[in-house]
Amino acid sequence: MSRERIRWAELLDVLTDSDRKREVVLERATETERMALFLLRRDGWSAQVSAKDVKEYDLEISKPGAKSAVQVRNQRAKVHLGQIEKFLDFLAQPNTKHFCEGLFISTSGFTPSVYAYLREEKVTNLKLAIMRDHNLIFDCEKIDAAEEREKTTYIGVFTCKGGVGKTTISAHLAGAFALNGYDVGLIDLDHQQNLRKILGEGVYLPATKGNLGSVISVLTKDEWDEGDYKDTKIVVCDCNPEFEANPREYIQKFDYCIIPTTLNPLGINKNADVIKRTLAAIRRENNRAELFVLINSLQTDEPNRNNLLNQTLQTQFKQMRETDARLHYINPAECAIRFSKQLLYWGFHLFDGAKPSLAFKTVGRYSYPRMDFLKLVDYLELQTQVLQTKSVGIGRI
Protein backbone atom coordinates (compact mmCIF):
# COMPACT_ATOMS: atom_id res chain seq x y z
CA MET A 1 0.00 0.00 0.00
CA SER A 2 1.58 3.30 -1.04
CA ARG A 3 1.43 6.57 0.82
CA GLU A 4 1.68 10.11 -0.42
CA ARG A 5 5.09 11.68 0.28
CA ILE A 6 4.56 15.21 1.52
CA ARG A 7 7.51 17.59 1.16
CA TRP A 8 7.80 20.78 3.17
CA ALA A 9 9.63 22.45 0.29
CA GLU A 10 6.50 22.11 -1.85
CA LEU A 11 4.45 23.82 0.80
CA LEU A 12 6.89 26.76 1.05
CA ASP A 13 6.20 27.50 -2.59
CA VAL A 14 2.58 28.35 -1.81
CA LEU A 15 3.01 30.08 1.56
CA THR A 16 2.97 33.86 1.90
CA ASP A 17 5.99 35.65 3.38
CA SER A 18 4.22 36.04 6.74
CA ASP A 19 3.34 32.34 6.72
CA ARG A 20 6.99 31.42 6.09
CA LYS A 21 8.21 33.48 9.03
CA ARG A 22 5.65 31.84 11.30
CA GLU A 23 6.00 28.25 10.07
CA VAL A 24 9.72 27.72 9.64
CA VAL A 25 10.22 27.92 13.41
CA LEU A 26 8.19 24.70 13.87
CA GLU A 27 11.30 22.55 13.77
CA ARG A 28 9.87 19.68 15.76
CA ALA A 29 6.76 19.27 13.59
CA THR A 30 6.90 16.60 10.90
CA GLU A 31 6.43 17.49 7.25
CA THR A 32 2.99 15.90 7.36
CA GLU A 33 1.97 17.94 10.41
CA ARG A 34 3.19 21.12 8.75
CA MET A 35 1.15 20.36 5.67
CA ALA A 36 -1.88 19.68 7.87
CA LEU A 37 -1.35 23.03 9.62
CA PHE A 38 -1.33 24.83 6.31
CA LEU A 39 -4.43 23.06 4.98
CA LEU A 40 -6.39 23.59 8.20
CA ARG A 41 -5.51 27.28 8.27
CA ARG A 42 -6.46 27.54 4.63
CA ASP A 43 -9.88 26.16 5.64
CA GLY A 44 -10.30 28.91 8.24
CA TRP A 45 -9.06 27.19 11.39
CA SER A 46 -6.62 28.65 13.87
CA ALA A 47 -4.07 25.83 14.14
CA GLN A 48 -0.93 25.17 16.15
CA VAL A 49 1.35 22.31 17.13
CA SER A 50 0.65 20.68 20.50
CA ALA A 51 2.92 21.32 23.46
CA LYS A 52 6.20 19.41 23.70
CA ASP A 53 5.07 17.15 26.53
CA VAL A 54 1.80 16.15 24.84
CA LYS A 55 1.85 12.76 23.11
CA GLU A 56 -1.87 12.07 22.72
CA TYR A 57 -2.42 14.48 19.82
CA ASP A 58 -0.31 16.45 17.34
CA LEU A 59 -2.20 19.68 16.63
CA GLU A 60 -4.82 21.95 18.18
CA ILE A 61 -7.34 23.73 15.99
CA SER A 62 -10.02 26.20 16.93
CA LYS A 63 -12.76 28.44 15.65
CA PRO A 64 -15.01 30.69 17.74
CA GLY A 65 -16.79 28.36 20.17
CA ALA A 66 -15.03 25.20 18.99
CA LYS A 67 -11.69 23.60 19.82
CA SER A 68 -10.45 20.22 18.59
CA ALA A 69 -7.50 17.88 19.07
CA VAL A 70 -5.92 16.57 15.88
CA GLN A 71 -4.03 13.34 15.33
CA VAL A 72 -1.93 13.13 12.14
CA ARG A 73 -0.57 9.88 10.66
CA ASN A 74 1.66 9.42 7.63
CA GLN A 75 2.12 5.64 7.32
CA ARG A 76 2.04 3.04 4.56
CA ALA A 77 -0.73 0.91 6.06
CA LYS A 78 -4.18 2.37 6.55
CA VAL A 79 -5.02 3.63 10.03
CA HIS A 80 -6.62 0.74 11.89
CA LEU A 81 -9.23 0.57 14.62
CA GLY A 82 -6.73 0.11 17.43
CA GLN A 83 -5.24 3.53 16.66
CA ILE A 84 -8.69 5.07 16.58
CA GLU A 85 -9.64 3.39 19.87
CA LYS A 86 -6.62 4.93 21.61
CA PHE A 87 -7.57 8.41 20.36
CA LEU A 88 -11.22 7.92 21.39
CA ASP A 89 -10.08 6.90 24.88
CA PHE A 90 -8.04 10.09 25.07
CA LEU A 91 -11.04 12.20 24.03
CA ALA A 92 -13.12 10.52 26.76
CA GLN A 93 -10.76 11.59 29.58
CA PRO A 94 -12.12 14.20 32.05
CA ASN A 95 -9.21 16.58 31.35
CA THR A 96 -10.08 16.82 27.63
CA LYS A 97 -13.50 18.42 28.05
CA HIS A 98 -12.17 21.64 26.53
CA PHE A 99 -12.06 19.79 23.19
CA CYS A 100 -15.46 19.59 21.55
CA GLU A 101 -14.25 16.82 19.22
CA GLY A 102 -11.25 15.15 17.65
CA LEU A 103 -9.97 15.03 14.07
CA PHE A 104 -7.87 12.15 12.75
CA ILE A 105 -5.94 12.90 9.55
CA SER A 106 -4.33 10.08 7.56
CA THR A 107 -2.34 10.13 4.33
CA SER A 108 -3.06 6.46 3.61
CA GLY A 109 -6.73 6.24 4.59
CA PHE A 110 -8.62 4.11 7.12
CA THR A 111 -9.58 0.44 7.29
CA PRO A 112 -13.22 -0.56 6.75
CA SER A 113 -13.38 -1.52 10.45
CA VAL A 114 -12.82 2.11 11.42
CA TYR A 115 -15.79 3.31 9.39
CA ALA A 116 -17.93 0.38 10.53
CA TYR A 117 -17.26 1.01 14.21
CA LEU A 118 -17.82 4.77 14.10
CA ARG A 119 -21.00 4.21 12.11
CA GLU A 120 -22.39 1.43 14.32
CA GLU A 121 -21.51 3.21 17.57
CA LYS A 122 -22.83 6.53 16.21
CA VAL A 123 -19.64 8.28 17.34
CA THR A 124 -20.15 12.01 16.89
CA ASN A 125 -17.06 13.48 18.54
CA LEU A 126 -14.53 12.24 15.98
CA LYS A 127 -14.08 13.26 12.36
CA LEU A 128 -11.85 11.57 9.77
CA ALA A 129 -9.96 13.15 6.89
CA ILE A 130 -7.59 11.89 4.20
CA MET A 131 -4.75 14.20 3.14
CA ARG A 132 -4.24 13.89 -0.60
CA ASP A 133 -3.06 16.19 -3.40
CA HIS A 134 -2.61 19.09 -0.95
CA ASN A 135 -6.23 18.79 0.19
CA LEU A 136 -8.12 17.45 3.19
CA ILE A 137 -10.93 15.13 2.11
CA PHE A 138 -13.54 14.70 4.85
CA ASP A 139 -16.06 12.59 2.91
CA CYS A 140 -13.45 9.84 2.68
CA GLU A 141 -15.26 6.53 3.13
CA LYS A 142 -15.99 6.31 -0.59
CA ILE A 143 -12.30 6.75 -1.33
CA ASP A 144 -11.43 3.97 1.11
CA ALA A 145 -14.05 1.54 -0.19
CA ALA A 146 -12.80 -2.04 0.21
CA GLU A 147 -11.28 -3.52 -2.93
CA GLU A 148 -13.09 -6.48 -4.42
CA ARG A 149 -11.62 -9.81 -3.34
CA GLU A 150 -10.57 -11.96 -6.25
CA LYS A 151 -10.69 -15.23 -4.32
CA THR A 152 -12.59 -16.62 -1.37
CA THR A 153 -10.73 -16.48 1.94
CA TYR A 154 -11.22 -19.44 4.27
CA ILE A 155 -10.75 -19.01 8.02
CA GLY A 156 -10.95 -21.89 10.48
CA VAL A 157 -11.50 -21.48 14.22
CA PHE A 158 -10.06 -24.63 15.73
CA THR A 159 -8.46 -26.09 18.85
CA CYS A 160 -8.07 -29.64 20.14
CA LYS A 161 -10.13 -28.72 23.20
CA GLY A 162 -13.74 -27.73 23.77
CA GLY A 163 -15.07 -24.88 25.86
CA VAL A 164 -12.64 -22.17 24.70
CA GLY A 165 -15.23 -20.08 22.83
CA LYS A 166 -14.80 -21.36 19.26
CA THR A 167 -18.45 -20.93 18.33
CA THR A 168 -18.68 -17.45 19.83
CA ILE A 169 -15.49 -16.35 18.09
CA SER A 170 -16.56 -17.85 14.75
CA ALA A 171 -19.93 -16.11 14.77
CA HIS A 172 -18.64 -12.70 15.82
CA LEU A 173 -15.62 -12.79 13.52
CA ALA A 174 -18.13 -13.41 10.72
CA GLY A 175 -20.15 -10.48 12.08
CA ALA A 176 -17.14 -8.18 12.01
CA PHE A 177 -16.41 -9.07 8.37
CA ALA A 178 -20.09 -8.43 7.62
CA LEU A 179 -19.84 -4.98 9.21
CA ASN A 180 -16.91 -4.37 6.86
CA GLY A 181 -19.26 -4.93 3.94
CA TYR A 182 -18.71 -8.60 3.11
CA ASP A 183 -21.29 -11.33 2.76
CA VAL A 184 -20.00 -14.21 4.90
CA GLY A 185 -20.46 -17.95 4.85
CA LEU A 186 -20.46 -19.30 8.42
CA ILE A 187 -19.89 -23.05 8.22
CA ASP A 188 -20.77 -25.21 11.21
CA LEU A 189 -18.38 -28.18 11.27
CA ASP A 190 -19.01 -28.98 14.93
CA HIS A 191 -21.28 -31.99 15.40
CA GLN A 192 -23.25 -30.08 18.07
CA GLN A 193 -24.44 -27.59 15.40
CA ASN A 194 -24.58 -24.72 17.92
CA LEU A 195 -24.36 -22.04 15.24
CA ARG A 196 -27.52 -23.25 13.56
CA LYS A 197 -29.25 -23.48 16.95
CA ILE A 198 -28.32 -19.91 17.92
CA LEU A 199 -28.46 -18.06 14.58
CA GLY A 200 -30.83 -20.22 12.56
CA GLU A 201 -30.26 -19.98 8.81
CA GLY A 202 -28.37 -16.73 9.19
CA VAL A 203 -28.60 -13.04 10.03
CA TYR A 204 -28.69 -9.79 8.08
CA LEU A 205 -26.68 -6.79 9.27
CA PRO A 206 -28.25 -3.64 7.81
CA ALA A 207 -26.03 -0.77 6.73
CA THR A 208 -26.57 2.97 6.96
CA LYS A 209 -26.25 5.92 4.57
CA GLY A 210 -28.30 4.15 1.92
CA ASN A 211 -25.85 1.28 1.42
CA LEU A 212 -26.90 -2.34 1.30
CA GLY A 213 -26.15 -4.43 4.36
CA SER A 214 -24.41 -7.80 4.54
CA VAL A 215 -25.63 -11.35 5.03
CA ILE A 216 -24.17 -14.07 7.24
CA SER A 217 -25.35 -17.42 5.90
CA VAL A 218 -25.14 -20.24 8.45
CA LEU A 219 -24.53 -23.48 6.57
CA THR A 220 -23.56 -27.08 7.15
CA LYS A 221 -20.51 -28.60 5.49
CA ASP A 222 -22.72 -30.11 2.80
CA GLU A 223 -24.67 -26.92 2.06
CA TRP A 224 -21.72 -24.65 1.25
CA ASP A 225 -20.75 -24.35 -2.41
CA GLU A 226 -18.79 -21.43 -3.88
CA GLY A 227 -20.84 -21.63 -7.06
CA ASP A 228 -24.06 -21.06 -5.13
CA TYR A 229 -22.65 -18.08 -3.19
CA LYS A 230 -20.63 -16.20 -5.79
CA ASP A 231 -20.79 -12.91 -3.86
CA THR A 232 -19.52 -14.50 -0.64
CA LYS A 233 -15.75 -14.05 -0.41
CA ILE A 234 -15.28 -14.75 3.32
CA VAL A 235 -15.89 -18.19 4.81
CA VAL A 236 -15.52 -18.75 8.57
CA CYS A 237 -15.59 -22.34 9.84
CA ASP A 238 -16.46 -23.32 13.39
CA CYS A 239 -14.44 -26.54 13.60
CA ASN A 240 -15.03 -29.71 15.56
CA PRO A 241 -12.53 -30.11 18.45
CA GLU A 242 -12.08 -33.73 17.31
CA PHE A 243 -9.79 -33.09 14.36
CA GLU A 244 -10.68 -36.24 12.44
CA ALA A 245 -14.36 -35.20 12.47
CA ASN A 246 -13.58 -32.15 10.28
CA PRO A 247 -13.78 -32.72 6.52
CA ARG A 248 -10.27 -32.78 5.00
CA GLU A 249 -11.36 -30.61 2.07
CA TYR A 250 -12.17 -27.76 4.46
CA ILE A 251 -8.97 -28.04 6.50
CA GLN A 252 -6.95 -28.00 3.28
CA LYS A 253 -8.67 -24.79 2.13
CA PHE A 254 -7.88 -22.75 5.26
CA ASP A 255 -5.89 -19.60 4.53
CA TYR A 256 -5.94 -18.71 8.23
CA CYS A 257 -6.72 -20.56 11.40
CA ILE A 258 -7.61 -18.91 14.71
CA ILE A 259 -6.57 -20.91 17.79
CA PRO A 260 -8.35 -19.48 20.84
CA THR A 261 -6.85 -19.86 24.29
CA THR A 262 -7.02 -18.15 27.69
CA LEU A 263 -4.63 -16.60 30.21
CA ASN A 264 -5.37 -19.02 33.01
CA PRO A 265 -2.78 -19.48 35.79
CA LEU A 266 -3.75 -23.13 36.32
CA GLY A 267 -3.79 -23.97 32.66
CA ILE A 268 -0.84 -22.22 31.00
CA ASN A 269 1.09 -25.48 30.54
CA LYS A 270 -2.09 -27.22 29.40
CA ASN A 271 -2.82 -24.35 26.99
CA ALA A 272 0.62 -24.67 25.45
CA ASP A 273 0.15 -28.41 25.06
CA VAL A 274 -3.24 -27.86 23.39
CA ILE A 275 -1.70 -25.37 20.97
CA LYS A 276 1.06 -27.85 20.12
CA ARG A 277 -1.45 -30.62 19.43
CA THR A 278 -3.66 -28.23 17.41
CA LEU A 279 -0.69 -27.09 15.35
CA ALA A 280 0.40 -30.66 14.66
CA ALA A 281 -3.13 -31.68 13.69
CA ILE A 282 -3.60 -28.83 11.21
CA ARG A 283 -0.17 -29.32 9.67
CA ARG A 284 -1.01 -32.91 8.83
CA GLU A 285 -3.42 -31.57 6.22
CA ASN A 286 -2.38 -27.95 5.56
CA ASN A 287 1.16 -26.56 5.48
CA ARG A 288 0.36 -23.13 4.06
CA ALA A 289 -2.24 -21.73 6.47
CA GLU A 290 -1.20 -18.90 8.77
CA LEU A 291 -2.09 -19.83 12.36
CA PHE A 292 -2.95 -17.17 14.94
CA VAL A 293 -3.14 -17.84 18.68
CA LEU A 294 -5.81 -15.51 20.11
CA ILE A 295 -6.46 -14.75 23.79
CA ASN A 296 -10.17 -15.07 24.53
CA SER A 297 -12.14 -13.88 27.56
CA LEU A 298 -9.35 -11.54 28.70
CA GLN A 299 -9.89 -10.08 32.19
CA THR A 300 -8.73 -6.50 31.73
CA ASP A 301 -8.89 -5.57 35.42
CA GLU A 302 -5.83 -7.71 36.20
CA PRO A 303 -3.03 -6.13 34.14
CA ASN A 304 -0.11 -7.21 36.34
CA ARG A 305 -1.18 -10.84 36.47
CA ASN A 306 -2.01 -10.80 32.78
CA ASN A 307 1.46 -9.49 31.94
CA LEU A 308 3.15 -12.29 33.88
CA LEU A 309 0.93 -14.98 32.37
CA ASN A 310 1.36 -13.48 28.92
CA GLN A 311 5.16 -13.52 29.24
CA THR A 312 5.03 -17.20 30.25
CA LEU A 313 2.80 -18.14 27.32
CA GLN A 314 4.93 -16.10 24.91
CA THR A 315 8.05 -17.98 26.05
CA GLN A 316 6.36 -21.31 25.38
CA PHE A 317 5.04 -20.00 22.08
CA LYS A 318 8.52 -18.83 21.00
CA GLN A 319 9.76 -22.42 21.25
CA MET A 320 6.88 -23.59 19.07
CA ARG A 321 7.47 -20.92 16.47
CA GLU A 322 11.05 -22.07 15.99
CA THR A 323 9.60 -25.09 14.20
CA ASP A 324 6.79 -23.27 12.36
CA ALA A 325 7.26 -19.73 11.02
CA ARG A 326 3.59 -19.54 10.07
CA LEU A 327 2.47 -19.70 13.69
CA HIS A 328 1.73 -16.26 15.18
CA TYR A 329 0.94 -15.31 18.75
CA ILE A 330 -1.30 -12.24 18.90
CA ASN A 331 -0.10 -10.12 21.78
CA PRO A 332 -3.23 -9.28 23.81
CA ALA A 333 -1.93 -5.71 24.09
CA GLU A 334 -2.60 -5.44 20.34
CA CYS A 335 -5.70 -7.56 19.97
CA ALA A 336 -7.69 -9.86 22.26
CA ILE A 337 -11.31 -10.71 22.98
CA ARG A 338 -12.14 -9.15 26.32
CA PHE A 339 -14.46 -10.75 28.81
CA SER A 340 -17.92 -9.20 28.61
CA LYS A 341 -21.41 -10.06 29.78
CA GLN A 342 -22.65 -9.55 26.23
CA LEU A 343 -20.57 -12.50 25.05
CA LEU A 344 -21.18 -14.51 28.23
CA TYR A 345 -24.95 -14.34 27.70
CA TRP A 346 -24.90 -14.48 23.92
CA GLY A 347 -27.66 -16.83 22.81
CA PHE A 348 -30.03 -15.82 25.59
CA HIS A 349 -32.67 -15.19 22.92
CA LEU A 350 -33.18 -18.97 22.92
CA PHE A 351 -34.78 -18.52 26.35
CA ASP A 352 -36.58 -15.18 26.08
CA GLY A 353 -37.83 -15.56 22.50
CA ALA A 354 -35.99 -12.54 21.08
CA LYS A 355 -34.73 -12.39 17.49
CA PRO A 356 -31.37 -14.11 16.80
CA SER A 357 -28.54 -11.57 16.83
CA LEU A 358 -24.87 -11.07 17.62
CA ALA A 359 -23.54 -9.62 20.88
CA PHE A 360 -22.80 -6.25 19.30
CA LYS A 361 -25.25 -4.18 21.30
CA THR A 362 -23.76 -1.05 22.82
CA VAL A 363 -23.63 -1.18 26.61
CA GLY A 364 -22.22 1.86 28.39
CA ARG A 365 -19.81 3.89 26.29
CA TYR A 366 -18.95 1.34 23.61
CA SER A 367 -19.67 -2.18 22.43
CA TYR A 368 -16.44 -3.89 23.40
CA PRO A 369 -17.24 -7.14 21.53
CA ARG A 370 -17.81 -5.16 18.34
CA MET A 371 -14.59 -3.22 18.92
CA ASP A 372 -12.57 -6.37 19.64
CA PHE A 373 -13.77 -8.38 16.66
CA LEU A 374 -13.39 -5.47 14.25
CA LYS A 375 -9.85 -5.07 15.58
CA LEU A 376 -9.30 -8.79 14.94
CA VAL A 377 -10.41 -8.32 11.33
CA ASP A 378 -8.00 -5.39 11.02
CA TYR A 379 -5.20 -7.49 12.50
CA LEU A 380 -5.78 -10.32 10.03
CA GLU A 381 -6.12 -7.97 7.05
CA LEU A 382 -2.99 -5.97 7.93
CA GLN A 383 -1.06 -9.15 8.63
CA THR A 384 -2.12 -10.40 5.21
CA GLN A 385 -0.61 -7.30 3.62
CA VAL A 386 2.62 -7.84 5.56
CA LEU A 387 2.84 -11.48 4.49
CA GLN A 388 2.03 -10.66 0.85
CA THR A 389 4.67 -7.94 0.85
CA LYS A 390 7.27 -10.35 2.27
CA SER A 391 6.38 -12.98 -0.33
CA VAL A 392 7.26 -10.65 -3.21
CA GLY A 393 10.44 -9.42 -1.55
CA ILE A 394 9.42 -5.80 -0.93
CA GLY A 395 10.03 -5.84 2.81
CA ARG A 396 7.95 -5.46 5.92
CA ILE A 397 5.30 -2.78 6.10
Same CATH fold assignment for domains 8-137 and 153-391: no
| Cα(108)–Cα(131) distance, integer angstroms | 8
Domain 8-137 belongs to what topology? Answer: Trna Endonuclease; Chain: A, domain 1 (3.40.1350)
- The residues spanned by each domain of the chain are 8-137, 153-391
| Cα(370)–Cα(376) distance, integer angstroms | 10
- Largest distance between two CA atoms of the chain: 74
Residues 251-260 pLDDT 10s: 999 999 999 9
Q: How confident is the model at residue 15 (pLDDT cuts 50, 70, 90)?
A: very low
Q: By the 8 A CB rule, do 231 and 149 touch?
A: no
Higher-scoring residue by pLDDT: 210, 170: 170
pTM of the entire predicted model: 0.86
Neighbours of 1 (CB within 10 A): 12
Section 76-88 average pLDDT: 94
Section 61-81 average pLDDT: 93
For the chain, give the percent of residues with pLDDT over 70. Answer: 86
- Specify the pLDDT at position 296: 94
Domain 153-391 belongs to what topology? Answer: Rossmann fold (3.40.50)
Neighbours of 7 (CB within 10 A): 11
| Cα(170)–Cα(193) distance, integer angstroms | 13
Helix (H) / strand (E) containing 328: strand 327-329
